[in-house]
Amino acid sequence: MNLVLALSLAVSGLASWSGWGSVVTCYFPPVVAAVVAPFDEPACTYCAGHRGIEYAVADRTTIRSAAAGVVTFAGSVAGTAYVVVDHDDGLTATYGKLRDVGVVVGQRVATGDPVGSSGLRVYFGLRRDDRYLDPQPLLGTIGRHARLVPIDATRGRRVPPPVLTCPRNPGRTASASGPRSR
């Protein structure tokens, strides 16, 4: 369904409207934690607002790349560590309030690669060009498939990889059991 909608939008020219970006984009959350400060879009470029979301995390939590891309900034701004990644789909992610930076400018990162470690809070923001986007509708939910444990204590079985469940529609969230349906 989303592919059909995306193709229809591309043909009609509406795909360039920034509100449709979440139809085909789904990111891994940079960390699994509670959001403590939501996105608050500023009224103008220089107006007050919260241009991303913040998570409450344990100190030194590993922060992971939400998608594949290239690191364009890795360093400190006014004493606070940040990493900026230009993702392959054209969006730019900022990972902030980091304790340590684990990447360098020009480095290619894959989805889930560590970009740094956190303090007690971590910032995550997304932009398309100069427009800030609310990251929450674009983030999937990480879950795991149930795994049965053999009674003979067989060892050596690999743990299945995490599963990303993506929101079906912009502005709707997914649960660990899958996207909500009507």
Q: Has this prediction a pTM greater than 0.75?
A: no
Helix ranges (H only) for 13-108 are 21-24
Closest CA to 115 of 81, 91, 89, 160: 81
Q: Whats the size of the chain, residue-wise?
A: 182
Question: What is the structure's pLDDT at 122?
Answer: 95
Question: What is the structure's pLDDT at 145?
Answer: 64
Give the start-to-end residue ranges of the domains of the chain.
2-179
| 2-179 topology per CATH | Glucose Permease (Domain IIA) (2.70.70)
Q: Would you call 129 helix, strand, or coil by DSSP? A: coil
Q: Token pair of 19, please?
A: 């509100």
Q: Return averaged pLDDT per consecutive 10 residues of the chain, 182 residues in all.
A: 34 34 66 88 79 93 94 95 94 94 96 93 92 86 67 62 66 36 34
| Residue 49 φ then ψ, to 5° | 165, 165
Question: What is the structure's pLDDT at 87?
Answer: 93
